């Protein structure tokens, strides 16, 4: 079996960011289905053509970079159940993980302008980098 070497200089480029009323980790729900608010996804100008066909009502998957997450975490408690059995992080939705990619299922509420979408629900902090947008199909 051939084991590939890790890619050196592997880089992600944010395409935009989340503008949310959530400003502190303690305010974030654990999942979008647990009272996550509406927020705005704002794209950087070089990527605006990428959302030109998105309309209100579209269901999207937003991939974010959870920039404040603990990248050294490899085991954790499920749903903050401290004192219970620890699980390997890859069997949890914990934001702390080696590559803290957030996965968010949202609905577009409004296309505000050519680089800004109003979306719901999303449990991401204000300023969270967006790394990709995909349609739910």
Into which CATH architecture does domain 16-135 fall?
Answer: Beta Barrel (2.40)
- Taking the mean position of all CA atoms in its chain, how far away is CA 119? 12
Q: What is the rounded distance in angstroms from the CA atom of residue 55 to the CA atom of residue 68? A: 31
More confident residue, 85 or 59: 59
Helix/strand/coil for 54: coil
pLDDT, tens digit, for every residue of 33-73? 667 889 999 999 999 999 999 999 999 999 999 999 899 98
pTM, entire model: 0.86
- What count of residues does the chain have? 137
Close Cβ partners of 23 (under 8 Å, ≥ 6 residues apart)? 125, 126
Indicate whether 32 pLDDT > 70: no
CA 92 from centroid of its chain's CA atoms:
15
């Amino acid at each position: 079996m051939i084991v590939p070497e890790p890619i050196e200089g592997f880089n992600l480029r944010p395409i935009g960011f989340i503008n949310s009323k959530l400003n502190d980790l303690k305010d974030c729900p654990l999942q979008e289905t647990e009272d996550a608010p509406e927020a705005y996804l704002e794209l950087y100008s070089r990527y605006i053509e990428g959302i030109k066909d998105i309309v209100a009502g579209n269901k999207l998957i937003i991939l974010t970079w959870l920039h404040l997450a603990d990248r050294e975490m490899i085991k954790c408690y499920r749903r903050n159940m401290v004192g219970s059995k620890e699980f390997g992080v890859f069997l949890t939705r914990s934001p702390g993980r080696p590559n803290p990619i957030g996965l968010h299922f949202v609905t577009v509420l409004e296309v505000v302008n050519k680089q800004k979408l109003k979306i719901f629900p999303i449990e991401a902090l204000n300023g969270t980098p967006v790394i990709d947008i995909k349609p739910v199909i």
